[in-house]
Structure 1
């Protein structure tokens, strides 16, 4: 055990067959008392080992039944590599929550470089997989850009990207800045995603620019069990030197 705490040693003995696939999803793990007898440790040690595996997302505890190998969730990858990337919740099924106008303030106002109180369009949708919400997308853009036209977010046809819609309104987007992080889930996000408040979630803050002016900003909030970001980076080749 190399001096490591005994619960880490027991957890490692259980973790390996789970990650190697020897223990399939749904397999029941030995009880705390059986683990204690098998490995010559106390039940407190075996309890800590099982709780560690639960915190790692490898095991789930079923009250009154025991501990089971957790089913591997289906992973959904969001492409961030082309001109249509960041289009809401693609590739998930989209469930629109609607567009409304509101006055902006605080963080969103700073991201759009607007004064507090300026009106914006706010558009939200859920990303669904097998009728289960796994991602929430919320976008804000200054209402002055498209108000009074047929290019507002509420008028956009299904499948129309932000670049296409604002481009048709004469707003040419030429730069995108994206910041990725993890934070605790907040209300009302937790109600929409049917997850407990405070759980860690993936957050992508994305802002579209026309020159130096931000013209749209959005948050993609996704379950860390189901959502991944897929980046493909094109690297410029160095010019060949003469004589080689």
Structure 2
């Protein structure tokens, strides 16, 4: 192979990808068999297999047990809006995670006390093993799972207060800013870091994805006078949603 020349399996995958994108291989169409790829492109079985693996890793095709490999339906990505603005009257968890007034979402949640693992302790600037309230959410849009979120709040801030449980009490279901204000903690800053990685098996199971799918992870932390009062990981399927930011200009 000369400099700049693609390996054979990438060349084959690229041609098949083009056919999928331009519609020559329509959704739910069976991908040419390994033998057909070998004959059509003049490559070995190993090259044909590696090309199919590339398309599967990209989420363009999926294997069906006992049937073969088929072109996947390609969803049109929908926006997950992130905003520095908050609607009047507070923000429930769905509004906090999906600040788009056109969305109509529901969520399930479960809160439990836990010991802060080293990474979470670092993010909250507390000692590993300190007690936190961990809350796991599954957000749905029109009944379809669209997003997962796990948040951690230091109990040295919220413990033995009316907002100790995010979904219970007089401010249950409100956003972090509103809940913290209820105990005289003024949230004045938030950071978000966005990254991408392969989804974990349990995440993809909850989100309706398949092994190998990529997820976007938003690592968010709320601060009050420089002190972290809540940190969270928000997980979004990258093939179905895109993250759109709307931020105020000061």
| TM-score, normalization by structure 1 | 0.78
Structure 2 partner of 1:28? 30
Structure 1 partner of 2:96? 87
Q: For residues 25 and 12 of structure 2, what CA distance do their matches in structure 1 show?
A: 15
In terms of Rg, which structure is larger? 1
Q: For residues 5 and 212 of structure 2, what CA distance do their matches in structure 1 show?
A: 34
Structure 2 partner of 1:221? 235
2:121 aligned with 1:109, yes or no?
Answer: yes
Q: For residues 188 and 156 of structure 2, what CA distance do their matches in structure 1 show?
A: 19
After TM superposition, give the deviation of residue 172 of structure 1 in Å.
1.4
Alpha-carbon contact 2:104-2:142 (below 8 Å) kept: no
Structure 2 partner of 1:241? none
2:118 aligned with 1:118, yes or no?
Answer: no
Matches within 5 A, 1:51-200: 51-73=53-75, 75-84=77-86, 87-88=96-97, 93-129=105-141, 131-152=143-164, 153=166, 154-155=168-169, 156-158=171-173, 160-186=174-200, 189=203, 192-193=206-207, 200=214
After TM superposition, give the deviation of residue 129 of structure 1 in Å.
4.6
Alpha-carbon contact 2:82-2:97 (below 8 Å) kept: no
RMSD of the alignment, in Å? 3.2
Q: In the superposition, relative to structure 1, how do residues 119 and 61 fare at CA in structure 2: closer, same or farther (>3 Å)?
A: closer
Q: In the superposition, relative to structure 1, how do residues 56 and 193 fare at CA in structure 2: closer, same or farther (>3 Å)?
A: closer
Please say which of residues 89-98 and 209-218 is displaced more in the overlay. 89-98
Q: In the superposition, relative to structure 1, how do residues 140 and 197 fare at CA in structure 2: closer, same or farther (>3 Å)?
A: farther
Q: For residues 211 and 219 of structure 1, what CA distance do their matches in structure 2 show?
A: 22
Alpha-carbon contact 1:94-1:125 (below 8 Å) kept: no
Q: In the superposition, relative to structure 1, how do residues 130 and 34 fare at CA in structure 2: closer, same or farther (>3 Å)?
A: farther
- 1:1-35 CA distances to partner (integer Å, 9 max, x unpaired)? 98433333222222112112333211222222223
After TM superposition, give the deviation of residue 176 of structure 1 in Å.
0.8
Alpha-carbon contact 1:204-1:220 (below 8 Å) kept: yes
- 1:94-144 CA distances to partner (integer Å, 9 max, x unpaired)? 332322233334111121111234332222211235655343211111224
Alpha-carbon contact 2:57-2:212 (below 8 Å) kept: no
SS in 1 for 2:53: helix
After TM superposition, give the deviation of residue 161 of structure 1 in Å.
1.5
Alpha-carbon contact 1:89-1:137 (below 8 Å) kept: no
Please say which of residues 112-121 and 197-206 is displaced more in the overlay. 197-206
Matches within 5 A, 1:30-49: 30-49=32-51
SS in 1 for 2:13: helix
Q: For residues 11 and 72 of structure 1, what CA distance do their matches in structure 2 show?
A: 17
